[in-house]
Amino acid sequence: MSVFTPVTDADLAAWLKNYAIGRLDSLQGISAGVQNSNFFVTTSLGRYVLTLFETMPRAELPFYLHLMAHLARHGLPVPAPIANRDNEYLGSLSGKPAVLVSRLAGRSEMAPDAARCARIGAMLAGLHLAGLTFGRKQANPRGAEWRRDCAARVRGHLPAIEQAELDAELAFQAGFNLKALPQGVIHADLFRDNVLWDGDYIGGVIDFYFAGHDALLFDVAVTVNDWCASTDGSLDPAR
């Protein structure tokens, strides 16, 4: 189970007294996830997801939480952060920054067809359009500087032919002015396991903690490379 920081029923019940969402009925750890501790929380008034942030700096978290709130207000199927009675989204629980968000319906689909890819494309367009009026700005945490740094750290562990391929790719990317492309808010992590399907419809888009401001085409590239890839690594034209 990917719960790195345990939370007891008693601790959570006490924490929830600062919220207007009723009394705690049940708490269940979520096994999925590799970065944070996540729990399903059911109260007398609804169902929620509790996240404890294990490594992310607290100062960076308001960007993500306010972005999710902004997109939810615009009608997109994203987890809406729940404000406490002090009107704050971000709190502290078990010594970690913590947030409570609405729980969305559905489950991931790891073998999407063309129709579902079309819905994902439309949803991504809606996210980009709604993001145009989001006032906060935070750089893409997986931007060009991060990619260069990672390449430098892994290069020495690669065989010579792969070192040459990596160097060539970085040089190729450096030849483009990405700032000249349309810019805006991007999800940056829209893999198949970050979308919940409720029947044929998108029930939710989750895990916004790699979001940032960058070329919108970055989002398209990440999404296409996951949703449209065949088992041999090639792209399926229909999807």
Calpha distance 70→133 (Å, rounded): 9
Q: Where are the domains of the chain?
A: 9-102, 114-227
Residue range 39-70, pLDDT digits in tens: 999 999 999 999 999 999 999 999 999 999 99
For the entire predicted model, the pTM comes to: 0.93
Residue range 78-131, pLDDT digits in tens: 999 999 999 999 999 999 999 999 999 999 999 999 999 999 999 999 999 999
Which pLDDT score is estimated for 1? 47
DSSP label at residue 59: G
Q: Which of 219, 120, 132 is nearest to 184 (CA)?
A: 132
- Side chain identity at residue 153, one-letter code: R
* Polymer length of the chain: 239
**Domain 114-227 CATH (choose: 3.90.1150.10, 3.40.920.10, 3.90.1200.10, 3.20.20.10):** 3.90.1200.10
**Domain 9-102 CATH (choose: 1.10.10.10, 2.120.10.30, 3.30.200.20, 3.40.50.300):** 3.30.200.20
